Amino acid sequence: MASKPVTDQEKRKQISVRGIASLEGVSDIKKSFNRHLHYTLVKDRNVATGRDYYFALANTVRDQMVGRWIRTQQYYYEKDPKRVYYLSLEFYMGRALQNTMLNLGIQSSCDEAMYQLGLDIEELEELEEDAGLGNGGLGRLAACFLDSMATLGLASYGYGIRYEYGIFNQKIREGWQVEEADDWLRYGNAWDKARPEYMVPVHFFGNVEHGPDGDWSKPCKWVNSQVVFAMPYDTPTPGYGNNTVNTLRLYTAKSPNSFNLGVFNTGDYIQAVCDRNLAENISRVLYPNDNFFEGKELRLKQEYFVVCATLQDIIRRFKSSIFGCRDPVRTSFDAFPDKVAIQLNDTHPSLAIPELMRLLIDIEEMEWDRAWKIVVNTCAYTNHTVLPEALERWPVHLMEKMLPRHLEIIYMINQKHIENISKHFPGDFDRLRRMSLVEEDGEKRINMAHLCIVGSHAVNGVAAIHSKIIQDSVFKDFVELSEKMGEVNKFQNKTNGITPRRWLLLCNPGLADLIAEKIGEDWPKNLDQLRELTPLIDNPTFIRSIGQVKQENKMKLARFIKKEWNIDVNVASMFDVQVKRIHEYKRQLMNALHIVVMYNRIKANPNKEFVPRTVMIGGKAAPGYHTAKMIIKLINNIAAMVNHDPIVGDKLKVVYLENYRVSLAEKVIPAADLSEQISTAGTEASGTGNMKFMLNGALTIGTLDGANVEMAEEMNGENIFIFGMKVHEVEELDKAGYNARQFYESVPELKTALDQISSGYFNPMEADQFTHFVENLINHDRFKLLADFKAYVECQDRVSEAFKDTEKWTKMCLANIAASGKFSSDRTISQYAREIWGVEPQPDLKIPAPHEPLERAETSEGYKDF
Ligand SMILES: *Cc1c(COP(=O)(O)O)cnc(C)c1O
């Protein structure tokens, strides 16, 4: 029986988790839309472009948010709760329009309004540029956290940089990655508001003048510096259904009008104005490295720029709340850690520690020990990786030139730190060397992770296994010191999470509806309720519905793939997906080798049963990461061969998902059958992509790495395909002396695949293109792909076998969905709030909506709190 096709627009109307469309609501939105088209876009419907309609709708939706935004900030000003500051060099926000409608509960009204105006809202949504101010997991985590902090009613702020160019756009040309600048602000941004009145100066370079005794721990003067201004732009971050709207404040660099005054005076006025660009380059572009440290001067400038501007803002707001004649009893900075929590997203904003010391000592003229206590009690640090090449170790000569006073402060911190270690571990000189903030072997460098640990009261990893690894190995010495000092709970775990609003309600309306039909509409705020789906595993009708939603999502993605890349995919095949940044440790190459194995099997035995697959791989390589770019080229070469082989037909297809980004993730993840999470055990700190797939009913093939471990635990080890070495086995193999070639020699399908690649089977025109690449793998294989390969292929065979039984497979999908509640970022943020920040989540707080009366006379005092 052919069922009536249901469009997403129709689906989105059926469910009140997206708000109920009321007659007045729809009518107001239409009026506002028409007003914006006329007055803001200055167009009528005869000449309006799709983009005009997008901006008219975006402005309409934004208008609905501003009253709530002002009221939220007024509320914070009056109640003066402890503020949480999330400092991050990356906020990978993606699109805002649909998310805003959803969180404000006006999606249904907007859908209906656009429908009545004869416009396709999904088409308009597609015209919004992604805010791609992040590289991957770390930046997307920050974005999920903003959503959860607002939803939990926390008085919180994101602080970062408003890059003029976000993560590059990836083009695939003849199989190679080509980078294009991401000019995301070209057509304007409907969501942010410049706040020139809160612009602050940031200083660089110059030198330090000390007091008469030359003591670095006493107030000093930083002189002869160069100044750049930091201009804030505020983006509202709405909570889900609670009228809370918090602020993401991103800074852009502005040259002072006096810039290059010397040149002005010597007469080259034109040159002086042109040179203003030099200062403004600070916020020009996001560094496109994921899990890799590139010690460039401009990057260090970015890191100090955001930290310096943010701390001025935090202290201004603290003073206006405490010293602003509102609470004269508390007049000192001693209350600072009770009123302010600063969370450092990796070491990227680690200069917050010496900068806060500088402000307290040099500007507020505080004693060192008192200032230090305040800093430590305020700051907390999240570690995101153990890969040594990702750890920030800034050359001392760079810091000395750019931040002379900060280097002195770091030296002072280190001196006291070393004294402290000596006290607890007398005579242990190797320990002093290992734990020092200053690395002396080779070029002198500052170890920023060590600085963060010493300057924070809490240090956390991002999944249980990762937190254990940092405590047992990388930061072991620091844990031992902490124990000697009698500190409790300094080293913690906070397993990452994702927001169920964007990653289910928004991206998978069919599944969201189905869930709401069964368990009600509370789950987006309380994801543990998904457990209530568990008994439905035995309900064949429900299982069929779950399977049907997945099938519809696959068909929709197939239409997109046809439109974008003109590839026909078999929607009955298994959609086998690996989307994430391209990195050797994530082992996309292992996935590619498995494709070659499947291809060879089909060619050798064309009539044998084969469970059809569409393998999709997507992700960006850092522009300077040669091996990652070779992996992309290889996957595309394999795809070209496989996709055009008539013997293969629609049993096997390979799709490179060009320009993987947040908005593409929202299309791909709901359509996946299989999620590839195959990093070498011990290398992926957590992963969050893994959680998005689980929540959307894909099964995982993965190693016991990162949060995969906890995903398996939530399902008692069932309904997930785990393979490969565990962390201790990887370590043991290293100790024994890993010999990759031995695996190449002893696994026949592996040897065949590697020989083919090496000899140019997939690129006959340039037959030696991958010879060196394969040689290197067989001789080094840092991430032990060859050691895990046999287990991987065997596990993939079990996956194929399981896929044949559609009903059983779908039951496993539902078991995954039902077990995914733990991975809501609401849970993660509640733990940060209680265990690190000392604030209590307010899930039931509801700020009065703009049309509802306030308890007191309305004032404009809220503006003071922006
Ligand atoms: C979630 C997400 C990531 C992180 O994926 P991992 O598999 O955890 O590395 C990267 N990029 C985008 C666009 C994402 O949405």
What DSSP string describes 82-123? PEEEEE-S-EEEE--HHHHHHHHT-HHHHHHHHHHTT--HHH
Residue 94 CA, closest ligand 1 atom number: 13
Residue 691 CA, closest ligand 1 atom number: 8
Cβ pair 194, 659 in contact under 8 A: no
Which residues are registered as beta bridge partners of 576?
615, 674
pLDDT at 831: 99
Residues 88 and 203 reside in one and the same domain: yes
pLDDT at 854: 60
| Confidence tier at 36 by pLDDT (50, 70, 90) | very high
Instruction: Give the integer Cα–Cα distance in Å for 176 and 447.
Output: 36
pLDDT at 528: 98
Spot the catalytic one: 18, 68, 494, 581.
Answer: 581
Angle at CA of residue 199, ends 193 and 204, nearest 5°:
130
Which of 431, 510, 463, 496 has its CA nearest to residue 697?
510
Residue 843 half-sphere exposure toward CB, CA atoms < 13 A = 11
pLDDT exceeds cutoff 60 at 259? yes
Q: What is the pLDDT of residues 118-138, one digit of tens each?
A: 999 999 999 999 999 999 999
Report residue 582 as tokens.
Answer: 């391209």
Neighbours of 489 (CB within 10 A): 10
Please report the sign of the dihedral spanned by the C-alpha atoms of residue 497, residue 501, residue 507, residue 512.
positive
Which of 79, 60, 74 has its CA nearest to residue 842?
79
Phi, psi of 577 (to 5 degrees): -120, 130
Pocket test for ligand 1, best of 170, 498, 660, 662 (most atoms within 8 A of CB): 662
Residues 761 and 642 reside in one and the same domain: yes
Higher pLDDT, residue 324 or 342: 342
pLDDT at 8: 61
pLDDT exceeds cutoff 60 at 227? yes
Predicted TM-score (pTM) above 0.85: yes
Instruction: Give the integer Cα–Cα distance in Å for 459 and 466.
Output: 12
Residue 662 CA, closest ligand 1 atom number: 13
Which of 805, 807, 801, 802 has its CA nearest to residue 546?
807
Residues 548 and 664 reside in one and the same domain: yes
| Confidence tier at 862 by pLDDT (50, 70, 90) | low
Which residues are registered as beta bridge partners of 632?
none
Residues 205 and 298 reside in one and the same domain: yes
Length of the chain (residues): 866
Q: What is the pLDDT of residues 662-713, one digit of tens each?
A: 999 999 999 999 999 999 999 999 999 999 999 999 999 999 999 999 999 9
| Confidence tier at 86 by pLDDT (50, 70, 90) | very high
Which residues are registered as beta bridge partners of 87?
159, 344
Helix (H, G, I), strand (E, B) or coil at 555: helix
The mean pLDDT of 160-170, rounded to a whole number, is 98
pLDDT exceeds cutoff 80 at 50? yes
Number of domains in the chain: 2
Phi, psi of 310 (to 5 degrees): -65, -45
| Confidence tier at 859 by pLDDT (50, 70, 90) | low
Residues 819 and 832 reside in one and the same domain: no
Cβ pair 166, 182 in contact under 8 A: yes
> Is 35 a residue of the active site?
no
Query: In angstroms, what is the span from residue 137 Cα to ligand 1's centroid?
Result: 5
Pocket test for ligand 1, best of 620, 669, 688, 823 (most atoms within 8 A of CB): 688
Please name the residue whose Cα sits nearest to atom 9 of ligand 1: 580
Whether residue 58 lies inside any domain: the answer is no
Which residues are registered as beta bridge partners of 92?
132
Q: Which residue matches tokens 């007049």?
A: 331
- When the pLDDT of each residue in the chain is averaged and rounded to a whole number, the result is 95
Residues 812 and 832 reside in one and the same domain: no
pLDDT exceeds cutoff 80 at 196? yes
> Is 688 a residue of the active site?
yes
Q: Can you spell out the DSSP letters for 56-82?
A: HHHHHHHHHHHHHHHHHHHHHHHH-PP
Residues 382 and 528 reside in one and the same domain: no
Spot the catalytic one: 580, 613, 651, 784.
Answer: 580
Q: Strands, E, within 106-258: which ranges?
A: 131-133, 156-161, 169-173, 176-180, 193-194, 200-204, 207-209, 221-223, 226-238, 245-254
Residue 272: CATH number of its domain? 3.40.50.2000
Pocket test for ligand 1, best of 581, 585, 690, 823 (most atoms within 8 A of CB): 581
Residues 814 and 832 reside in one and the same domain: no
Question: Domain limits at 185?
Answer: 80-95+130-496+827-837
Higher pLDDT, residue 262 or 641: 641
Please name the residue whose Cα sits nearest to atom 15 of ligand 1: 662
pLDDT at 3: 42
Query: In angstroms, what is the span from residue 678 Cα to ligand 1's centroid?
Result: 14
pLDDT exceeds cutoff 60 at 855? no
Whether residue 781 lies inside any domain: the answer is yes
Q: Which residue matches tokens 């969050």?
A: 688
Phi, psi of 576 (to 5 degrees): -105, 110
Instruction: Give the integer Cα–Cα distance in Å for 101 and 510.
Output: 18
Whether residue 438 lies inside any domain: the answer is yes
Residue 706 CA, closest ligand 1 atom number: 8
Residue 148 half-sphere exposure toward CB, CA atoms < 13 A = 27
Residues 675 and 565 reside in one and the same domain: yes
The mean pLDDT of 619-624, rounded to a whole number, is 98
Residue 661 CA, closest ligand 1 atom number: 13
Residue 660 CA, closest ligand 1 atom number: 13
Q: What is the pLDDT of residues 761-792, one digit of tens each?
A: 999 999 999 999 999 999 999 999 999 999 99
Please name the residue whose Cα sits nearest to atom 1 of ligand 1: 689
Report residue 305 as tokens.
Answer: 């720029």
pLDDT at 1: 34
Q: Can you spell out the DSSP letters for 137-169?
A: HHHHHHHHHHHHHHHTT--EEEEEE--SB-SPE
Instruction: Give the integer Cα–Cα distance in Å for 166 and 182.
Output: 6
Whether residue 864 lies inside any domain: the answer is no
Q: What is the pLDDT of residues 388-423, one digit of tens each?
A: 999 999 999 999 999 999 999 999 999 999 999 999
Phi, psi of 116 (to 5 degrees): -65, -25
Cβ pair 512, 17 in contact under 8 A: yes
Element (H, E) at 699: strand 699-702
Which of 480, 477, 485, 549 has its CA nearest to residue 513?
549
Residues 833 and 815 reside in one and the same domain: no
Query: In angstroms, what is the span from residue 660 Cα to ligand 1's centroid?
Result: 9
How many secondary structure helices (H) and strands (E) does the chain include? Answer: 35, 25
Whether residue 557 lies inside any domain: the answer is yes
Higher pLDDT, residue 193 or 320: 193
- Could you say which of 786, 801, 823 is where a domain stops? 823
Helix-helix angle 785-804:806-818, to 10 degrees: 120
Query: In angstroms, what is the span from residue 515 Cα to ligand 1's centroid?
Result: 25
Residues 457 and 584 reside in one and the same domain: no
Whether residue 303 lies inside any domain: the answer is yes
Please name the residue whose Cα sits nearest to atom 6 of ligand 1: 689
Cβ pair 686, 466 in contact under 8 A: yes
Burial 795-812 (b: 16+ CB within 10 A, else e): bbeebbebbeeeeebbbb
Report residue 457 as tokens.
Answer: 């009261």
Spot the catalytic one: 83, 692, 784, 811.
Answer: 692
Burial 750-776 (b: 16+ CB within 10 A, else e): beebbebbbebbbbeeeeebbeebbee
Cβ pair 66, 239 in contact under 8 A: no
> Is 534 a residue of the active site?
no
Q: What is the pLDDT of residues 539-594, one digit of tens each?
A: 999 999 999 999 999 999 999 999 999 999 999 999 999 999 999 999 999 999 99
pLDDT at 797: 99
Spot the catalytic one: 688, 700, 810, 828.
Answer: 688
Spot the catalytic one: 384, 393, 405, 811.
Answer: 384
Query: In angstroms, what is the span from residue 463 Cα to ligand 1's centroid?
Result: 15
Query: In angstroms, what is the span from residue 619 Cα to ligand 1's centroid?
Result: 9
pLDDT exceeds cutoff 90 at 7? no
> Is 484 a residue of the active site?
no
User: With pLDDT > 70 as the criterion, what percentage of the chain qualifies?
Assistant: 95
Cβ pair 148, 343 in contact under 8 A: no
Instruction: Give the integer Cα–Cα distance in Å for 699 and 693.
Output: 8
Whether residue 18 lies inside any domain: the answer is no
Neighbours of 582 (CB within 10 A): 26
Which of 663, 640, 669 has its CA nearest to residue 504?
669
Spot the catalytic one: 11, 445, 586, 822.
Answer: 586
Cβ pair 305, 348 in contact under 8 A: no
Pocket test for ligand 1, best of 580, 680, 683, 823 (most atoms within 8 A of CB): 580
Pocket of ligand 1 (CB under 6 A): 136-137, 140, 580, 660-662, 665, 687-689, 692
Alpha carbon distances (Å) from 18 to 119, 145, 709 = 19, 21, 33
Judged by average pLDDT, the poorest of 16-25, 70-79, 211-220, 597-606 is 16-25
Cβ pair 220, 407 in contact under 8 A: no
pLDDT exceeds cutoff 90 at 5? no
Whether residue 136 lies inside any domain: the answer is yes
Neighbours of 712 (CB within 10 A): 19
Residues 476 and 520 reside in one and the same domain: no
Query: In angstroms, what is the span from residue 580 Cα to ligand 1's centroid?
Result: 5
Which of 245, 364, 387 has its CA nearest to residue 316?
364
Residue 498 CA, closest ligand 1 atom number: 1
Report residue 77 as tokens.
Answer: 């000003």
| Confidence tier at 4 by pLDDT (50, 70, 90) | very low
